[in-house]
Amino acid sequence: MYSHASMTPTELQPAATAASSAAPTAGAGPIRVGIVGATGYVGGELIRLLAAHPAVELVGLTGRERRGDPVGDVHPHLATTELALESELDGEVDAVFLALPHGTAAQRVPELLARGITVIDQGPDFRLRDPADYPRWYGFEHPHPELLGRAVYGLPELHRVEHIAAGEARSSGTPALVGSPGCYPTATVLALAPLARAGLIADVVVDAKSGVSGAGREAKAEMLYAEVNESVRAYGVFSHRHTAEMEQELGLDGLDFLPHLIPMTRGILAACHVRPGRPVSQAELDALYAEAYADEPFVTVVDAPPATGHVLGSNHARVFVRTDERTGRILALGVIDNLVKGAAGQGVQAFNLVFGLAETAGLEALPLAP
């Protein structure tokens, strides 16, 4: 059985068309930003985006056992960036992006918040509201469960109001804490949220495919070229950690999720097979999705099944929905770049809202990723 009792916090929220009252004045100077965990794939994407952000000054990049290493030594495509990697975050910063393994960020966040630093956590440590979900899905007891209620789930399309409220609190002296969504939940939730909000999901199976960069940069035997090339593999069967996020944000219990690894570098396609609780026409679906996403800067409802290549290197998501007249089921597709809209770009989008900037700042026209 599916429950829609928790749909209130996940209702699609109007896009911000202007900066909030927390926006810096023209003479306020750039926002000083640090990145902790800058050597991984997500860290590299954060550097790529924030180095060109019109309101940001990157003042600290850290990576394990780094001592002044040029960014280009770790991320060759960023060789023109005149920055270096250090082992610790030194100097004054206004905001920190954490791109760390699960369980690590939670140890560091209280100290950063105590220093008045806004935190955008790109990992899972502040995505889930229920502390009991962490030992179940991630294998650790959350060290600071008191902060879970404070954290904003960093999917602006569903939680824009909370982002802006966190920004207003920040301008009054209370630093914000954002838990950025996972890549699979981003594609899936955007594909299904209009249906969930309308109470139309009686049952759903999510079949998703991801490029290998979604598993991170550390070498794993199953990620070697010889293991991935010319092959598709299901993994996380009945146990993938992102299931908890999908159920939380869609207000569902018992969602079936099966991810697959495919031989490409980046991109996610989530195919969501829905059995609705009542008959639904295509006209009703079209109206539902048009209303939900008409004003969203980074979500486009398309008329033909989208491909991951359509959003490569960008912060955009494309969504497609069709009813199957023969079976009565609904097919909803969502595609994103897992490292941008599924990670770094979404973090920057949330950062923009929290700091009262235009939501699209630094994300409007991104070049194709390497």
Reply yes or no on whether 272 is catalytic: no
Return the SS3 of 82.
Answer: coil
Catalytic annotation, pick one of 183, 206, 288, 330:
183
CA distances from 146 to 62, 129, 289 (A): 27, 10, 36
- The separation between the first and the last C-alpha atoms of the chain, rounded to the nearest angstrom, is 44
Instruction: Print burial letters for 243-262: b (CB count within 10 Å at least 16), e (below 16).
Output: bbbbbbbbbbeebebbbebb
Q: CA 292 from chain center: how many Å? A: 19
Q: Can you tell me whether residue 67 is helix, strand or coil?
A: strand
Rounded Cα distance, 155 and 13, in Å: 10
Alpha helix (H) ranges present in the chain?
41-50, 71-74, 105-114, 133-137, 156-171, 183-197, 225-228, 242-250, 282-293, 345-354
CA 315 from chain centre, in angstroms, equals: 10
- Helices 282-293 & 183-197, crossing angle to 10 degrees? 120
- The length of the chain in residues reads 370
How is residue 255 annotated by DSSP? -
- Tokens found for residue 38: 């800058």
Burial of 146 (0-12, 13-18, 19+ CB in 10 A): exposed
- Residues belonging to the active site: 183
